[in-house]
Structure 1
């Protein structure tokens, strides 16, 4: 185990990243440093993990991270759940955590891994396309068919059965098919739940409110349960079913957030000005590295690849 990065426990990496963050802060005390030295001496892998993460911090020495942005990153870190692979960042250090959704996968009847998109057929003939990092539970009862979306996003081509309505629930809303093709899901933990209708009609219900959507319409539900309706380019919004990500005049911050969903690790945007740049294009979701290369070549950006699990983006 000693000296081999591939076999160092995630708990050690997490502790090492925490020590890097602590020792680089202005309020690190002598007691902290003494505790750190004791921790280093407890196992040879502690030194290996610390040296690696400290080197990553040094690599980012020229990357500015504002105080406000650092606070945002720390907040995002606290929201993460599941398994952890530690990496650290500059100017205060943000911890990289990979939200490994094992809990949802254990409960799920069907799921996809990060970067995986696949189609399944349910026993009633309904076809479901699962987007990246998605998990769902299927329950058939006498009076209705229910899909519980535990995480992620899915597109449903519903087999008609007027006697057994098809309902998708994701915790924020329920979407009942009235003979249709539609998607349901939240693309990030801090984003609203959404429904997009490609064909037919869908009845959306949230917090006692109801709305019926037709083809080309979308509904989002915010954290207060309020439903907002809008027109939608459903083909573009669900192009992931064909392995593509389509953007039309989208802020770079949104594009990077989407790309991050299809790769392991983090894409860290440390520059607010860069985040507002508009992006239009079509990318292959199976090759997010190529998408980053295209963005760097076509926009005034610098993409810094610290490791397979950490990419930093800033203005050039």
Structure 2
């Protein structure tokens, strides 16, 4: 398993703090939200410090004067520009909070930050491996064990209990375990959503269509909206559980899309020739910069780090 670095911890705390700032300013914040927030604050001084810093920024922006329409004509140019910047920044903060997973993490019972992989056990003995930037909500009842995959990817080693079906849903697919080990991934960017079975059987449902998957099968929703079943190497596809990423003859664009899930910022491919280069290899998901360096050494491509948040890839 990949360890959690201090940088990842700081990122996680900052993301959680920003999520709490946004949530507690919402009109639909509940008493449970406030209790959970206080519990989170009391976990560590770092949580409190991060929250205080972001709350201060929020307050500064919120207090920028926004004049009613009747007074707009009298606003100075500087005040008007300041108002626009403040409104835009707050809107951007809200959008980023959603896109970066703050909302999903507030809804989740378990989650990971970018670059983090986590393993834990649910109350029934089921083992869960949660991939980078992923979140699940646990909805157990006496009749069934239901997991909502809010974002990212999870691998389940399901504890057998025929009287309480184990169901994972991601908003598109529903996967019911029939005594098994399997992974579910939410579609994101160029990466498709899917269900992969390592052991046992899984029933996958989508819009009334149902298929039974066996070991080595993968199910995806096609562009036409139907279920497609094919074969795959599940241990390689889910090697992230052991801190590795395994590729076998895959286009560079797919490799970079996967690497991008484990780092902050964007990786941009500038030409089609580079995008379609085939890649085979095993990489350490905890060091994506090293993975990029290896790709540059072994492929006719140039990799340029513009900033810590932007990487350009082009043919050479």
Maintained 8 Å contact 2:260/2:266: yes
Maintained 8 Å contact 1:246/1:282: yes
CA shift, 1:214, in A, is: 0.5
* 2:232 corresponding residue in structure 1: 232
- CA distance in structure 2 between the aligned counterparts of 1:202 and 1:189, rounded to whole angstroms: 25
* CA deviation map 1:209-242 (0-9, x unaligned): 0000001111112365311000110011000000
* CA deviation map 1:43-82 (0-9, x unaligned): 9x99xxxxxxxxxxxxxxxxxxxxxxxxxxxxxxxxxx84
- CA distance in structure 1 between the aligned counterparts of 2:195 and 2:266, rounded to whole angstroms: 27
- Cα RMSD between the aligned structures? 3.0
* 1:156 corresponding residue in structure 2: 156
- CA distance in structure 1 between the aligned counterparts of 2:299 and 2:191, rounded to whole angstroms: 26
- CA distance in structure 1 between the aligned counterparts of 2:242 and 2:136, rounded to whole angstroms: 20
- CA distance in structure 1 between the aligned counterparts of 2:171 and 2:224, rounded to whole angstroms: 12
Maintained 8 Å contact 2:149/2:186: no
1:83 is aligned, of 79, 85, 96, to 96
Instruction: Report the 3-state secondary structure (helix = DSSP H, G, I; strand = E; otherwise coil) of the residue aligned with 1:297.
Output: helix
The answer to whether the aligner puts 1:138 opposite 2:138 as a matched pair is yes
* CA deviation map 1:176-234 (0-9, x unaligned): 00000000012524543201000000000001000000011111123653110001100
CA shift, 1:272, in A, is: 1.1
Structure 2, unaligned stretches of length 5 or more? 1-53, 59-76, 87-93
Calculate the TM-score normalised by the size of structure 1.
0.70
* CA deviation map 1:142-165 (0-9, x unaligned): 211000000000000000000000
* 2:27 corresponding residue in structure 1: none
- CA distance in structure 2 between the aligned counterparts of 1:227 and 1:38, rounded to whole angstroms: 56
In the superposition, relative to structure 1, how do residues 224 and 82 fare at CA in structure 2: closer, same or farther (>3 Å)?
farther
* 1:273 corresponding residue in structure 2: 273
Give the count of matched residue pairs: 241
CA shift, 1:301, in A, is: 0.7
- CA distance in structure 2 between the aligned counterparts of 1:157 and 1:118, rounded to whole angstroms: 14
In the superposition, relative to structure 1, how do residues 264 and 212 fare at CA in structure 2: closer, same or farther (>3 Å)?
same
* 2:216 corresponding residue in structure 1: 216
- CA distance in structure 1 between the aligned counterparts of 2:104 and 2:200, rounded to whole angstroms: 30
Maintained 8 Å contact 1:192/1:223: no
Maintained 8 Å contact 2:190/2:257: no
Instruction: Report the 3-state secondary structure (helix = DSSP H, G, I; strand = E; otherwise coil) of the residue aligned with 1:83.
Output: helix
In the superposition, relative to structure 1, how do residues 190 and 275 fare at CA in structure 2: closer, same or farther (>3 Å)?
closer
Structure 1, unaligned stretches of length 5 or more? 1-6, 11-36, 47-80, 85-97
* 1:59 corresponding residue in structure 2: none
In the superposition, relative to structure 1, how do residues 130 and 82 fare at CA in structure 2: closer, same or farther (>3 Å)?
farther
Calculate the TM-score normalised by the size of structure 2.
0.70
* 2:196 corresponding residue in structure 1: 196
Instruction: Report the 3-state secondary structure (helix = DSSP H, G, I; strand = E; otherwise coil) of the residue aligned with 2:120.
Output: strand
The answer to whether the aligner puts 1:127 opposite 2:140 as a matched pair is no
CA shift, 1:313, in A, is: 0.6
* 1:298 corresponding residue in structure 2: 298
Q: Which runs of 4+ in 1 moved over 3 A?
A: 37-43, 189-192, 222-225
